[in-house]
Amino acid sequence: MDLNTRWFKDKVLEKTKKSLESKGYDVYIVKDKSEAKKKVISLIEAKSTVGVGGSQTLLQCDILNSLREGDYNFLDRYKEGLTPSEVKEVHKEAFFSDYYLTSSNAITESGELVNLDGLGNRVAAMIYGPKKVIVVVGENKIVRDIDSAYERVRKYVAPINCKRLNMDNPCVKVSECVNCSSENRICNHLVVTFRQNTKGRGIVVLVKEEIGY
């Protein structure tokens, strides 16, 4: 990336950081995935119960392995051998965790978090339940406004995640949301979080890299 592009992206990150801080979040900007992992782990107290939402960002930052290897009660939804009913129980337990880690499908420059969910467990935990929520977001997910966020989650995030999950939904065929009625539809709950009203609960780590979808 050339210096002028980096300058512009840094300005957007700083603007977004200030917006999020004005809306009750603690915000950190880090240079890459490795720093994101270090920052997230540094924020979690030992012995804590930690839950996670489904997130390619967390996987790409290798945060889950650090949780598995650390001194935490990690509610590992990805643990090999879990049955669907056991995964569902992990989702429920995560709702009462000390820390809940996830990403956001989009963040506006004015500080709104926009998320699209299938089951709703992720957005529910982001809104209420866990004591602290840590949101790790690559700079590729920052958009100008809510309309741009809607466009991103409906026409990019939903189709690419359906493709990743091998879902035979219409959006995989046409590469954009068509507001289908498929039984396997994964875009069922669209949530906009305008601010974090519990001081110290919401933490956002903005990463100077393209991460996740």
Average pLDDT along the chain: 93
Residue type, 63: I
Total structural domains within the chain: 1
What is the residue-wise DSSP string for 71-107? SSEEE-TT-TT--HHHHHHHHHHHTT-SEEEE--SEE
Residue 177 lies in a domain: no
**Residue 54 identity:** G
What is the CATH number for 123?
3.40.50
Q: Are 12 and 207 in contact (CB under 8 A)?
A: no
The mean pLDDT value for 49-75 works out to: 95
Do the domain assignments include residue 15? Answer: yes
pLDDT of residue 40: 98
Give the mean pLDDT of 180-194.
Answer: 85
Percent of the chain clearing pLDDT 90 (strictly above): 76
Domain for residue 107, yes or no?
yes
Asked whether residue 159 is assigned to any structural domain, the reply reads no
Name the residue range of residue 131's domain.
Answer: 3-141+195-207
Give pLDDT, residue 142. 98
For residue 151, is it within any domain?
Answer: no
Residue 180 scores a pLDDT above 90: no
Residue 162 belongs to a domain: no
Residue 13 lies in a domain: yes
Within a domain: residue 25? yes
Rounded distance between C-alpha atoms, residue 186 and residue 171, angstroms: 11
